[in-house]
Amino acid sequence: MSHRKTDGPLDLAQLRTFLAVYRAGSLTAAARLVGLSQPTVTAQLRALEERTGRQLFERLPRGVAPTPAADDLAARLAGPM
């Protein structure tokens, strides 16, 4: 993944998807929670990682694990959402 960070507001749909993945611990479970397909969840997550320039999850054989960057973003989102 390139570390191309862009300025400006983050996409709300991507942030909602991020929080679903963060809470569910898997892309498939998050897809069910937000009513999207798993490939769409994956695409939104990758787009958010591109946008922030940070890897948010470590992909595991079964699910995902949040990185410190994901923990930081989730903490920042806890208030406004």
pLDDT tens readout for residues 20-65: 999 999 999 999 999 999 999 999 999 999 999 999 999 999 999 9
Residue 40 belongs to domain with CATH number: 1.10.10.10
Decide if 20 is inside a domain: yes
E strand intervals along 1-81? 57-59, 64-66
Domain count, the chain: 1
Decide if 43 is inside a domain: yes
pTM: 0.85
SS3 label, residue 54: coil
Decide if 37 is inside a domain: yes
What amino acid is encoded at 66 in this protein?
P
- Please give the angle made by the CA atoms of 9, 76 and 32, to the nearest 5 degrees: 80
Q: Which domain covers residue 46, as residue numbers?
A: 12-54+61-78
Query: What is the per-residue pLDDT for 10?
Result: 85
Decide if 30 is inside a domain: yes
Decide if 1 is inside a domain: no
Please give the backbone phi and psi of residue 6, each rounded to the nearest 5 degrees, phi first: -115, 155
Token couple for 13: 């749909």
- 1 pLDDT band, cuts 50/70/90, is very low
Decide if 7 is inside a domain: no
